[in-house]
Every structure is written in C-alpha cells, then in structure tokens.
Structure 1
Amino acid sequence: MGGALVTTLGSLLYPSMLGVQRVSGEPELVIAHPATGPLTQADRDFVVKLRAAGLWEYPVGQMALKKGTTKAVRTAGEHLIDGDATLDAADRNAAGQLNITLPNQPSAQQQGFVTRLNGDSGKQFDTDMATILRATNGQMLATIASVRTTTRNSVVRALANLANQTVLDHITVVEKTGVVDFDQALSLETTAPQTPPPPAAGQPQVVLTPPAHSTASPSPSVR
C-alpha cells in the first residue's frame, strides 16, 4: 500500500468482539461512556467503516495515477490518496481516544474491488474505478449523514464533519471524470457493505502516508 507502519495501540472494541447483533432498529445502543459523550454501536461501526474505506481507496488512488488514461482520472487518484491519508490520520486519532479497534485490511468485498481494478486497463479501468468509487462513496455519505445527526459523542461528530467534506470531494472528482456509469453505481450502492476483519494480535497498524505536498484540509480537533 505504500504506507509506513506504526505499532498498534491496545484497544477493546470491534464489531465481531462485542457479542452484539447489528440490529438496524437499535442504532442508539450505547456501548461505552467516554468523557466525550456516549458512544453508540452506530458510532463505533462508523469509525471502523471509515478506516476500511481508506484502506482500499488509497491503493486505488495510486493505481489511478499509473493507469488512468485521462487527466481527470489521474486527478481523482490524487484526491483519493490525499484525502484518505488525511482522513485516516483523524480516524486513527479518534479510535485511540474512544478505545476502538481498527482493521488493518479492507473487507472481502473491498478487496474484490481492488483485485478487479488491478486487472483492468485503459478506458475500462477509468470507467470501473469511477463507477465503483461513486457507488461506495455514495454509501458512505449516507452513513455519515445518519451518524452526524444522531451521535452524542463530540469526537465522532468532528470525525463525521471531516469525513463529509472528504467524501463529497471524492464524489465530485470521480463525477468530473465523465465516465461514471450511474445505473451501475446506483445498483451497487444498494448492496450492503461488509465488515472488515479485525487485525491479528500484535500486528502493526497500517498508516496511509500523505503525499509530500498535501492539499487536503487539516484534520479538525477531536478533543
């Protein structure tokens, strides 16, 4: 992935470790009471999903710089690398404060996206990349809106603000490529995202390295 590695901080919370079913009718289930406000199951899942999104989008951004056939596709790749690195730093910071365990790999579905795009070339790569990213970022935008309007935790709220800005930027730049297949994107957007696997015990935490000349907005304070 091109990211440097740092040691994983010990954390306790992860979807598969909680012994709690994800029930769509219970988004307000409180799982912890940090000083920054009650932390719900939906809050925790949002922090985990945000991490997983960056873990697969970042290498796709690197692919776009090498394989994109137009300037617009390569520009989208630059925004992915820059935005995801900045958002990943904020997400890891928030997770550390909230004692949330983060994945080191994207979900199987997201790994499948990377594999598919690795096998693409030419205009097919451009179209598939833009379409998949439009769909997945559309899903994430809906998640951000839901969490931002319901969370009572100030750390999650600040993270959602940055995520909203970053995801909207990603949606905008992939739409500017002019090659999004909106029918396919909207169909894919209705597919439920999968939970990424938890990290192996003692595994170093993957860090997404920002470019030398970052243009992304600085992370908001999450204290």
Structure 2
Amino acid sequence: MRHRLGTLGQHAALFAVTSAVFIGAFIGAVPANAQSTEVQPSDRSFMVSLRQANSWLVPVSKEAPARTTNAGISNAGRDIFEGHSRLDVDLLKAAGELGVVLPNDVSSEHQALINEMEGRTGDNHDRAYATIVRQTQGGLLVMATQTRATTQNTTIRTLAHQTVQMLIRTMTVLENTGQVDPSALELVTAKAQVNAVRVIGQNIEPSDRELLVLLMQHSLWQKPASRESSDRARDAKVRKVAGQLAAEHTQLVAAVNEAAGQIGVDLPAEPTTEQKSWANAISSSSGEELDRMYANLSRAADGSLIVQVARARATTKSVPARVAAQTGLTLLLKHMLLLEGTGLVKSNSLQMTDVPAITQTRSNASPPAQPDDSSTSVGFLTGIAVLVVAGAGTLWLVRAIGHRGGHRR
C-alpha cells in the first residue's frame, strides 16, 4: 500500500509539474502575479472558514489574560487576539472587494464554546484555552497553506500568505507555554497520511521520517539548480532570487540534518528521479527559456511540498521534527513569494495535486493519470472538515480537559 501511494504521488507530482511548466510557459498562461478577480469555491471556503475561526478566537483570546495567572498564556492570548483581529480586518476588506458574503454571526457551537470558557480561570482555563486554540490553528494552517499554494486570485493569495505567517508565529508561542494537550496535534487529515508500519527498533513516526526525507530531497535538487541559475539566468531578478534560494537551502539542510540526527533518521544522498529530470531540464536550457523553466519548476515544486510540511508542522509530536517543519514552512513560503516576484511564474504552476514522492526509484510504473480540479477540491473540503470537526469537538475537549485536571467551575 505504501509503495502504491508513493508511486501515485510520483505520477501526480510529475504530471502536475510538467504540465504546469510546459503548457503554462509555452501557450501563454497568465503570470501568477497578475490580478485575478475570479473567486473559486475553494477560495470562498477558505475565507468563510477563516471568518468562522476568527469569530470565536478573537473574543476568547481577548479574555485570556484576565482569566490566567500564567504569563505565557497571557502573552499568547494577547498575541493571538491581535493576530486574528488584524486578519479579520484584512479578510473583511478582501471580501468586500471580491463580493464574497461572509457570516456575521458566531455559530451556535462557537457561542457555546465562548460561554463555556467564560467561567474558567487559572489552570482550568489555561489547559483548555491552549489546547482548543492550538487544535483550531493547526487545521487552519493546513487549509491556509493549501490556499496559498494554489489560488490564482492575488488578493486571496496575499490573505492566505499573511494567515500562514501569523499562524506559524502564534502556534509556536502557544506551544511554548507547555499547556497544549497532545490531543491538539491530531487532525482529521493527518491519520490518512501516516503509514501504520513502524521501523523495527526505532521509535519514529513514519510521518516524521517522510517529512525529513522530503525536505532533504527537495534541497538536493533545488539548491544546485538554484546555484546554476544564479550564474546562467538572463534576467537579473531571476539570478538574484536563485542566489538567495541557493543560500537559504543551506539553512534548511542544516535544520533537517540536526532533526534527523536527534531522532535517528537516515537521509537520502540524492534527489528523486523526477527531481533529477527537473534539474536536467534547467541545465539544458538557456536564456529566457532557462529563466521561465527555473521559476516555474521551482514554484511548482515548492507549492507541492509546502502543504505536507504544513500538515507535519500542525501534527507532529516530535520537537526536532517540528523545528525542521517550521524552518521548511517558513523558507518555502518565502521562496514562493520570491519566485512569484520574478513575474515569470505562470498560473498553471499553481495547480498542484499531491506532494512529490520520497522514493528513490520506481518499478512497474503506469502512465500518469490526468489530474483534475477534484484533487484540489478534496484538499479544501478536507480542510473544511478539519475545522468543522474541531468546532464540534471543542466543547468535549474543554470539558474533558477540565475533568482531567480535577477543576470545577
């Protein structure tokens, strides 16, 4: 089953990248940084989900400092309140510009949660607040990252980018309080990504190993390709961006190596067969063709990988793997923005499906299936499901945490 999923991931990633680059670059797809006013259902779903999350995270976080004596929770509450308040202002502005109707009222489930939290103080409040907020933010991170990687609407792309940046920061602040229950790291989507078979003699989550291997293989092809492009690209902007990416992959490799050493993961020494083909395509190009090839292949690969890295950041219980995921997520987000800033990234390079497979070779390969919009839609629907389930389960979490701590209102 694992091999089959890996093979399918390879096919989907290869087809998506090649179609995005060669079709997009050579038949004149619009640049990704061009203004698009069209709002896809997945874009609308993201905006509605963000609005619903803000509707209860803002008031609950505003009250957090008054309900705790824990300095970490107090600081986290203020940070989360300010972050989601700013996001809500930007969200409402974007919705007005795009004609998207957003809910104005708090849902009955979220209002019940607000009411439930109002009576909690001290340790009783702290554990419940840290856990339910972290769980909600984890689900929102995955959805916002998916939107950031795939949306062709530049207004929504900016909003999603800001959302991911804010969540990366506030999730870390919340985790550092030491009050987050492990249940907050379990997303509905995460379980389907984890292979149940463990490596004998190693206490390693397969998903953590896959994360580190994916990040290393990504650097193993993109760092040398970026170094070469920084020397050979015709466009000065492309040369500058490529040079920055090459330099920053050193930081990513260091973070991955450190995490791998701490948790005992053997890392690959070469990129995948597909990734080698991408590097070869860049090497065999020159002039404007090289510029377009490098920008589109790199942006497509970053967009494919960043969603799985975000999922790992939201769910891993391993601190070393979390640090590596945080570094990877931050750099990939930055690199996508830099590549889009060249003006050469075509809109088709944003239409990614699955992440690149981590296996070095493949056998009995079948022809790649034609990707369609359903895979992206499924990703967004899954993200919505995460938030819905989190919302429906938060009251149970609050009561369960309160009961575990032996505190009563």
TM-score (norm 1): 0.71
Q: Per the alignment, do residues 123 and 20 of structure 1 end up closer, same or farther by CA in structure 2, a change over 3 Å counting?
A: closer
Q: Per the alignment, do residues 59 and 168 of structure 1 end up closer, same or farther by CA in structure 2, a change over 3 Å counting?
A: same
Paired with 1:50 and 1:157, the residues of 2 have a C-alpha distance of 13
Q: Per the alignment, do residues 71 and 143 of structure 1 end up closer, same or farther by CA in structure 2, a change over 3 Å counting?
A: same
- Which range moves more in the overlay, 25-34 or 171-180? 25-34
The answer to whether structure 1 residue 31 and structure 2 residue 201 are counterparts is: no
Paired with 2:285 and 2:3, the residues of 1 have a C-alpha distance of 37
| Count of matched residue pairs | 176
- Which range moves more in the overlay, 19-28 or 169-178? 19-28
**Are the equivalent residues in 2 in contact too, given 1:46–1:144 (CA < 8 A)?**
yes
The structure number with the bigger radius of gyration is: 2
1:3 corresponds to which residue? none
- 1:26-57 per-residue CA deviation (whole Å, 9 max, x = no partner) reads 527473799xxx63211110100100000000
* Identical residues among aligned pairs (%): 26
Paired with 2:315 and 2:197, the residues of 1 have a C-alpha distance of 12
Paired with 1:58 and 1:156, the residues of 2 have a C-alpha distance of 21
1:182 corresponds to which residue? 347
> Which secondary structure does the structure 1 equivalent of 2:192 belong to?
coil
1:193 corresponds to which residue? 356
- How far 1:77 sits from its partner (Å)? 1.0
1:67 corresponds to which residue? 232
Paired with 2:194 and 2:306, the residues of 1 have a C-alpha distance of 17
Q: Per the alignment, do residues 98 and 32 of structure 1 end up closer, same or farther by CA in structure 2, a change over 3 Å counting?
A: farther
> Structure 2 residue aligned with 1:54, among 219, 239, 254?
219
The answer to whether structure 1 residue 112 and structure 2 residue 277 are counterparts is: yes
Q: Which has the higher helix share?
A: 2
The answer to whether structure 1 residue 90 and structure 2 residue 255 are counterparts is: yes
Paired with 1:149 and 1:33, the residues of 2 have a C-alpha distance of 26
Paired with 1:25 and 1:191, the residues of 2 have a C-alpha distance of 13
**Are the equivalent residues in 2 in contact too, given 1:131–1:179 (CA < 8 A)?**
yes
**Are the equivalent residues in 1 in contact too, given 2:256–2:324 (CA < 8 A)?**
yes
Relative contact order (alpha carbons < 8 A, sep ≥ 6): 1 or 2 greater?
A: 1
Amino acid at match of 2:220: L
Paired with 1:22 and 1:78, the residues of 2 have a C-alpha distance of 37
- Runs of at least 5 residues in structure 2 that lack an aligned partner in the other structure: 6-190, 362-409
Paired with 1:161 and 1:192, the residues of 2 have a C-alpha distance of 17
Paired with 1:122 and 1:26, the residues of 2 have a C-alpha distance of 40
Amino acid at match of 2:252: L
Paired with 1:153 and 1:190, the residues of 2 have a C-alpha distance of 27
- Runs of at least 5 residues in structure 1 that lack an aligned partner in the other structure: 1-18, 199-223
Q: Which has the higher strand share?
A: 1
> Which secondary structure does the structure 2 equivalent of 1:31 belong to?
coil
Matches within 5 A, 1:1-223: 25=192, 27=194, 29=196, 31=198, 39-183=204-348, 185-187=349-351, 189-190=352-353, 192-197=355-360
> Which secondary structure does the structure 2 equivalent of 1:147 belong to?
helix
- 1:41-76 per-residue CA deviation (whole Å, 9 max, x = no partner) reads 111101001000000001111111111112210111
2:97 corresponds to which residue? none
1:207 corresponds to which residue? none
RMSD of the alignment, in Å?
A: 2.5
Amino acid at match of 1:107: T
**Are the equivalent residues in 1 in contact too, given 2:2–2:195 (CA < 8 A)?**
no
**Are the equivalent residues in 2 in contact too, given 1:134–1:175 (CA < 8 A)?**
yes
**Are the equivalent residues in 1 in contact too, given 2:207–2:312 (CA < 8 A)?**
yes
